[in-house]
Amino acid sequence: MLAAAAVGYLWLPRAEVVLPLVADCRLDRQICSTELPGGGRLEISLAPRPVSTIKPIRVSVSIAGLPAGRVEVDFQGVDMNMGLHRLPLVAAGPDRFGGETTLPVCVTGQMVWQATVLIEADRKNISVPFRFESGA
């Protein structure tokens, strides 16, 4: 009976927690952070700054107070459809995740992007959107 309960728990759907846009911080200018449900805290940074579409971008995420299993970042153009680009991050130390990507080039040169951090933790899928601009 205990084994059946464990298997049933694993098959339960995860709660989807979508947080509002972190509007008071731009990733192309600074490190951004926000509170997470349940008392955790998320911090994200992009490097180098300013963000370029022709050079690789390093993405660093730290999550305190929440045991994160998987962390990814979705990049989407805000004013222009550039497709969806998902970057899986790898563990880079306790509560730290990182990865590197290159964004698609926009013909206008400058582009407003939304980077949505996707966290899988405690039977929840948490989404946290941030904005930034890139240039050539």
Domains of the chain: residue spans and CATH: 14-135 (2.60.40.10)
- Give the pLDDT mean for 17-24: 95
Furthest C-alpha separation in the chain: 61
The whole model's pTM is what?
0.87
Q: Which residues contact 20 (CB under 8 A, 6 or more apart)?
A: 129
Which of 91-100, 105-114, 127-136 has the largest mean confidence? 91-100
pLDDT tens for each residue of 30-66: 999 999 988 899 999 999 998 887 889 999 999 999 9
- Torsion sign over Cα 82, 135, 25, 59: positive
pLDDT at 103: 87
Q: Which residues contact 132 (CB under 8 A, 6 or more apart)?
A: 26, 27, 28, 29, 46, 51, 112, 113, 115
pLDDT at 83: 81
Split at pLDDT 50, 70, 90, the class of 91 is very high
Q: Is the bond preceding residue 50 a cis peptide, omega within 30 degrees?
A: yes
- What would the two tokens of residue 95 be? 């509560």
Split at pLDDT 50, 70, 90, the class of 1 is low
Q: Is the bond preceding residue 48 a cis peptide, omega within 30 degrees?
A: yes
Nearest residue to 42 via CA among 128, 108, 101: 128
